[in-house]
Amino acid sequence: MKYISSRDRRVSLLASQAILQGISKEGGLFVPDEIPIIKNLERLKGKNYKELTFEIMNRFLDDFDPDVIKICIDKAYDNKFTEEEIAPLIKVGEAYFLELFHGPTFAFKDMALSILPYLLKEAIKINNVHREVVILTATSGDTGKAALEGFANIEGIKIIVFYPEEGVSDIQKRQMITQEGDNTFVVGIKGNFDDAQNGVKEIFSDRNFADVLDRHNFVLSSANSINIGRLLPQMVYYFHSYLTLLKRGDICQGEKINVVVPTGNFGNILAAYYAKKMGLPINRLICASNENNVLRDFLNTGNYDKRRELILTSSPSMDILISSNLERLLFHLSDGDDQLINGTMKKLDIDGFYQMESLDLGEFYGGSSLEAETSSSILSVFKNQGYLMDPHSAVAFGVYHKYKLESGDNLKTVIVSTASPFKFASKVASSIGIDIDLMDEFSVIEELENRTGGKAPEAIKSLKNKTIVHNNKCDKKDMAAIVKSFLNVGESDD
């Protein structure tokens, strides 16, 4: 299997090369040139999470030794996940919550970022790379910590994370700026996530920058979901949830389900789309946005328009106006028309919008939840079912509710639950009626535990006393310069 660039089909790489490179030089994203079909899905019913991961990822990682893939999987999905099942499926009322937040950083980014470092190390080996790999990452809050956690103290790799100073939650920020490890760098930028992501993409496509790094024996890679190595592990839990339903007898063989995905950069839901293409019986891919509802509008009209203010919400990991992975979907839906995608993405860059009304987006449904709706979702599910949702998952729940009312579709539905409620305690607590005025985040967490009987992860509570080790801040225009200074590759010898 080859990975081709969404903006230039002539660029074609092996899996390990695509993972190593992260993004194609002309700005395109790597997509698999064919999607393998899994036949006789029921046959996989007896497999545990790791075995299932192997079944799926092995089909996409042609140039990796299968035994090595198994070792990577073993190291990734070990006891740093607190649940044996890795991704438990919890029935709440009529819906099923697929909990993806039992990893080391309590958000779904751990599902992929616990394995990506091992895949990348292997990719370095396969390709005989003797340079130090520099991972550049923009984060809307959760990727940053999960990537730092995964790559800290890994020899031969440095990791640099850019987060929007004003755009992440208290806990998310603390998780990042207290990160230990000599190879880790964390920078708050004056700007939003889109600025951080654009800045990183610009560095990737800057030839001069690449030359400077090259001369100093560095090579860039990415831990964002623009890296195909992030998307492959994310397909697995969709299969796992389906097989769990099958095992429990909640669905019959071949029965279709819906999935609802709280969406920002379109990575998670794209993985669900790939799972569907591989043969997983998914009916509707329900894309849930918060008040930054560019995707809802696009899926309803075929017009993508980012010309609006980015709104900071209580689901910061979805505060995004430029959803990078949509580019991959457009590529597939247009039968791999690289020139069309290239032109469309250039247009988005220059004009801030594009129109693709001719695409058939029928397998998707786009909806959004306002802040007040998110609060009332959290409250009603807690009151009626005793289940506590984080704001991202609550955005998804709200859209699920609207979809059901609108469509009358009663298929079994999996709601992807992407973060621990204790990671976003203030919003959760105030939604269920706790008066959080004058309380700091850690008191809120304690109060939330008392009032709900839930248990906050120790690693979140202990952030209170952890030393801050990263104080870097920069303007969005200075991102390249700060990378150079971290790497000690000054302007003087350019």
Ligand X SMILES: *Cc1c(COP(=O)(O)O)cnc(C)c1O
End-to-end CA distance of the chain: 39
Identity of the residue numbered 383: K
Listed ranges 110-118, 177-185, 206-214, 257-265: which one lies at the site for ligand X (CB under 6 A) = 257-265
Q: Which two tokens stand for residue 282?
A: 């998914």
**Of 371, 388, 370, whose CA–CA distance to 379 is shortest?**
388
Minimum Å gap between C-beta 262 and ligand X is: 5
Phi, psi of 444, deg, nearest 5:
-60, -45
378 binds ligand X (CB under 6 A): no
Candidate list 102, 109, 306, 328; residue touching ligand X; CB under 6 A: 109
419 binds ligand X (CB under 6 A): yes
- Separation in Å, CA 171 to CA 95, 107, 176, 245, 460: 29, 12, 9, 34, 7
293 binds ligand X (CB under 6 A): no
**Of 196, 140, 179, 68, whose CA–CA distance to 424 is shortest?**
140
145 a catalytic residue: no
292 binds ligand X (CB under 6 A): no
427 binds ligand X (CB under 6 A): no
Residue 11 to residue 3: CA distance in whole angstroms: 8
Candidate list 169, 178, 197, 225; residue touching ligand X; CB under 6 A: 225
237 binds ligand X (CB under 6 A): no
Residue 374 to residue 396: CA distance in whole angstroms: 9
322 binds ligand X (CB under 6 A): no
Minimum Å gap between C-beta 339 and ligand X is: 27
Pair 322, 264: CB distance under 8 Å: no
Listed ranges 2-10, 80-88, 259-267, 462-470: which one lies at the site for ligand X (CB under 6 A) = 259-267
**Of 241, 302, 234, whose CA–CA distance to 265 is shortest?**
234
Residue 368 to residue 374: CA distance in whole angstroms: 10
Q: Are strands 303-305 and 353-355 parallel, antiparallel or unpaired?
A: antiparallel
175 binds ligand X (CB under 6 A): no
Listed ranges 24-32, 69-77, 103-111, 449-457: which one lies at the site for ligand X (CB under 6 A) = 103-111
Candidate list 32, 164, 191, 264; residue touching ligand X; CB under 6 A: 264
Instruction: Count each helix (H run) and each strand (E run) in the chain, helices first.
Output: 20, 16
Catalytic residue among 47, 109, 247, 404: 109
Candidate list 418, 426, 430, 431; residue touching ligand X; CB under 6 A: 418
392 binds ligand X (CB under 6 A): yes
268 binds ligand X (CB under 6 A): yes
Using CB under 6 A, list all residues that contact ligand X: 107-109, 142, 225, 262-268, 317-318, 392, 418-419
Catalytic machinery residues: 109
